[in-house]
Amino acid sequence: MFHRKSTLAVLLGLIFLSFFGTLAVSASMFPQNYDWRYRVISNLLSPRDNPAHYWLAAIGLALTALLMLPFAGHLQRHLEVASPRVARTSSGAFVAGSIALICACFIVPQHVHDVFGVRRLHEFLGRSAAGFLAIGMLCGCWCAWKGCGRSLFAARLFCIWSLVTLVPLAGIFVSQCLLLLTRVIPAWATPIRTALRHSVFWHLGFWEWTGAAAVFVFLCAAVFLTPQQKTSP
């Protein structure tokens, strides 16, 4: 078990370098000023927006998704003591999210042409990856909450997982509801946009980067705060 966690700790370091490291380098060489609070991650992968270094961001993001795959098995081994079915759902969601993320890196953002007959396939894959990862994290939170009552998990694990999962999801939900409201009730569009256009909470880029950091913290807690040995329920 100690050897397994040591290996996962090394993978966490590689994930940090492959994701935040390569994207930071790519952002520093972005043709225009790249502000993570307002620009989405896909801008770094776009041949149109980042023609010279989009490949660097794509390789870093694909490597990150590949390095995340071993964590699916780690989560299932530890979460199944609370609920085997939900543990399998969490593990499967992380695998599906990682695969969707890898595919999104190879299918770069298209602004004119369809890919395989699908309009904005890159955006669809990116949102699918985020959705699957969110499902995996929510299942992990449920298992941690259920396990706390049986003393299978530490309460701080549930608190950290809940914080990094629910806060970004709540922010995205509220911002998307406000955006939908501006489309449903056009009279409210101008007041809402005027009040929020200078706020980072209105921009998808802020929530994308926040969600990426949340996934990393979630995985860190999964490695360092889960029990050393699997406990019988």
Per-residue pLDDT 10s for the chain (233 aa) are 556 888 999 999 999 999 999 999 999 999 888 999 889 999 999 888 888 889 999 999 999 999 999 999 999 998 988 889 999 999 999 999 999 999 998 886 654 455 555 667 888 899 999 999 999 999 999 999 988 766 667 788 999 999 999 999 988 888 778 778 777 787 777 777 777 767 777 788 898 999 999 999 999 999 998 876 544 44
Residue 231 lies in a domain: no
Return the pLDDT at 214: 96
Instruction: Give the DSSP H or E segment for 164.
Output: helix 155-184
**pLDDT in the model for residue 4:** 80
Question: Is residue 145 assigned to a domain?
Answer: yes
Residue 114: predicted pLDDT: 55
Q: Are 61 and 19 in contact (CB under 8 A)?
A: yes
Query: Which residue range is the domain that position 116 belongs to?
Result: 2-224
Does residue 230 lie in a domain region? no
Cα-based distances in Å from 110 to 48, 106, 119: 9, 12, 8
Q: Is residue 229 part of a domain?
A: no
Examine residue 150 and state whether it is found in any structural domain, yes or no.
Answer: yes
Tell me how many degrees the CA angle 18-226-89 measures, rounded to the nearest 5.
Answer: 75
- At residue 204, the pLDDT reads 83
Q: Cα(14)–Cα(222) distance, rounded to whole angstroms?
A: 16
Domain count of the fold of the chain = 1
Burial 28-65 (b: 16+ CB within 10 A, else e): eebeeebebeebbbbbbbbeebbeebbebbbebbbbbb
pLDDT of residue 230: 46
Residue 44 counted as domain residue: yes
Residue 231 pLDDT: 42
Q: At what angle do helices 54-79 and 121-149 cross, to 10 degrees?
A: 30
Alpha-carbon distances of 76 from 28, 146, 156, 225, rounded to whole Å: 38, 15, 19, 15
Is residue 168 domain-resident? yes
Q: How many CB atoms lie within 10 A of CB 158?
A: 21
| The predicted structure's pLDDT at residue 2 | 52
The CA radius of gyration of the chain, in Å to the nearest whole number, is: 19
Note whether 64 and 34 are within 8 A (CB): no
